[in-house]
């Protein structure tokens, strides 16, 4: 486990130690001040309406809750219902204002209309001037204040819904759950990693924080091409990832029965260079790997590299049971109708 992973586990409270809590203690006053200032900012600043229903999909933690697959799933579902969808994101990994980061590029590769920029209201106005949209999905929009939102979908990791319980810099939360606006729907992601009793405990904890809010059970599913699955399940693979929680990628590959020889894990939004590629390829060959395997998020930045070992992508999808997906459909219909009536 590298320094970034150790720091992340400590922020989330996933690795408990006496020294870890000693380090956290002096940061708690700063975390309380940070939470109070963000709560005050949320109450004082109201976003502007853009004339189109806006649905935010976001989280409370720094990252790694499975937001991108959820946005892709929801956008697909809305398109299937006949809506013209515009996905708007901040674009944390974009190198220039005119480009898409790797998450935006992955969405665009699936055929969705995607725009990005830190000033989301301006980005939306420019996009709507080019072509209309029936509904806007704000990717990672729970903390933004530029645009008025009709519906908030909050994603929480089922295993530790509120991390260590502290905001930055003492924990991994971007906002204090007690001070945020109440979400309209909560989705507990990676619920398939828990036993039924563990999931029920997480569900109760979230229900205490957000009473009377629907809590849905989200799971991750690998979207296999039959030929790819057959090829990888008889191969030795080396993993490449530049995501917030690379250990999740390793766990997923192992759950799918893949033989993992080793890993090359980089910080989130890492800009892969030829030097990185060559180093990872050399390590994989030394381990006796047959294939390099990366994430859907990293594929746009790695797919153009070529070498002795082939590169494959493990695409991860999001899934809700039918009756829970219908709850989300009903909420989206309400948000669209509410905007049309204003």
The reply to whether 190 and 275 lie within a common domain is no
Look at residue 55 and tell me whether its pLDDT is greater than 60: yes
Is the confidence at residue 310, as pLDDT, over 90? yes
Cα 45 to chain centroid distance, Å, stands at 25
- CA 326, distance to chain mean position in Å, is 22
Q: Please give the mean pLDDT across all residues of the chain.
A: 89
Q: Is 42 inside any structural domain?
A: no
Examine the domain organization and report whether 143 and 285 are in the same domain: no
Tokens of 57: 């999909």
Residue 275's domain comprises: 224-314
Find the CATH number of the domain harbouring 167.
Answer: 3.40.50.300
pTM for the structure as a whole: 0.89
* Per-residue pLDDT reduced to its tens digit, 85-144: 999 988 765 554 456 877 888 888 888 999 999 899 999 999 999 999 999 999 988 888
Alpha-helical regions (H) of the chain: 3-12, 18-24, 28-44, 67-80, 102-109, 120-130, 196-209, 226-232, 246-255, 274-287, 299-302, 322-341
| 185 and 334 fall within a common domain | yes
Region 221-245 average pLDDT: 90
- Average pLDDT of the segment spanning 300-317: 90
Q: How far apart, in whole angstroms, are the C-alpha atoms of residue 90 and residue 259?
A: 36
Q: Could you tell me if 209 and 235 lie in one domain?
A: no
Together in a domain, 235 and 106 = no
pLDDT at 339: 63
Total tally of structural domains belonging to the chain: 2
Question: What's the mean pLDDT in 36-53?
Answer: 86
Poorest-confidence range of 2-16, 62-76, 174-188, 192-206? 2-16
Whether the upstream peptide bond of residue 101 has omega within 30° of 0, thus cis, is no
pLDDT score recorded for residue 178: 83
> Do 163 and 90 have their domain in common?
yes
Nearest one of 287, 298, 232 to 265, comparing CA atoms: 298
- pLDDT at residue number 4: 67
Count the alpha carbons within 13 Å of 100 in the hemisphere toward its beta carbon: 20
What's the number of CA atoms in the CB half-sphere (13 Å) around residue 153?
29
Residue at 331 is within a domain: yes
Asked if residue 205 and residue 186 are part of one domain, the reply reads yes
Domain assignment present for residue 115? The answer is: yes
- Say if residue 329 is in the same domain as residue 303: no
Q: Are residues 61 and 137 in the same domain?
A: yes
CA distances in angstroms from 259 to 104, 222, 240, 280, listed in the order given = 30, 16, 14, 17
pLDDT on residue 97:
45
Q: Using pLDDT thresholds of 50, 70 and 90, give the confidence band for residue 173.
A: very high
Residue 185 sits in the same domain as residue 323: yes
Q: Is the pLDDT of residue 3 over 80?
A: no
What pLDDT does residue 96 have? Answer: 45
Residues 196 and 213 in one domain: yes
Residue 49 lies in a domain: no
């Amino acid at each position: 486990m590298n320094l970034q992973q150790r720091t992340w586990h400590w922020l989330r409270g996933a690795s408990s130690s006496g020294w870890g809590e000693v380090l956290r203690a002096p940061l708690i006053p700063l975390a309380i001040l940070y939470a109070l200032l963000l709560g005050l900012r949320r109450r004082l600043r109201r976003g502007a309406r853009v004339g189109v229903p806006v649905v935010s999909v976001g989280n409370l933690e720094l990252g790694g809750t499975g937001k991108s697959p959820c946005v892709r799933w929801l956008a697909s579902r809305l398109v299937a219902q006949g809506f013209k969808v515009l996905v708007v994101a901040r674009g944390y990994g974009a190198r220039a204002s005119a480009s898409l980061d790797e998450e935006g590029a992955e969405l665009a590769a699936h055929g969705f209309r995607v725009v990005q920029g830190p000033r989301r209201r301006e980005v939306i106005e420019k996009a709507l001037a080019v072509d209309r949209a029936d509904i806007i999905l704000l990717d990672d929009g729970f903390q933004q204040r530029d645009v008025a939102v009709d519906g908030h979908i909050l994603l929480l990791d089922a295993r530790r819904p509120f991390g260590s319980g502290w905001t930055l810099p003492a924990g991994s939360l971007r906002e204090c759950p007690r001070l945020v606006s109440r979400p309209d729907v909560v989705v507990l992601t990676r619920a398939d990693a828990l036993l039924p009793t563990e999931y029920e405990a997480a569900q109760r904890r979230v229900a205490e924080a957000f009473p009377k809010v629907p809590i849905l059970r989200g799971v991750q599913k690998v979207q296999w091409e039959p030929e790819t699955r057959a090829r990888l399940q008889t191969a030795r693979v080396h993993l490449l990832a530049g995501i917030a929680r690379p250990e999740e990628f390793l766990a997923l590959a192992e759950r799918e029965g893949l033989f993992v020889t080793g890993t090359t894990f980089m910080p989130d939004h890492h800009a892969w260079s030829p030097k990185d590629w060559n180093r990872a390829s050399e390590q994989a060959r030394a381990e006796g790997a047959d294939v390099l395997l990366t994430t859907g998020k990293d594929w746009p930045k790695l797919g153009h590299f070529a070498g002795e070992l082939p590169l494959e992508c493990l695409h991860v999808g999001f899934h809700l049971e039918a009756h829970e997906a219908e709850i989300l459909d009903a909420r989206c219909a309400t948000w669209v109708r509410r905007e049309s009536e204003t």
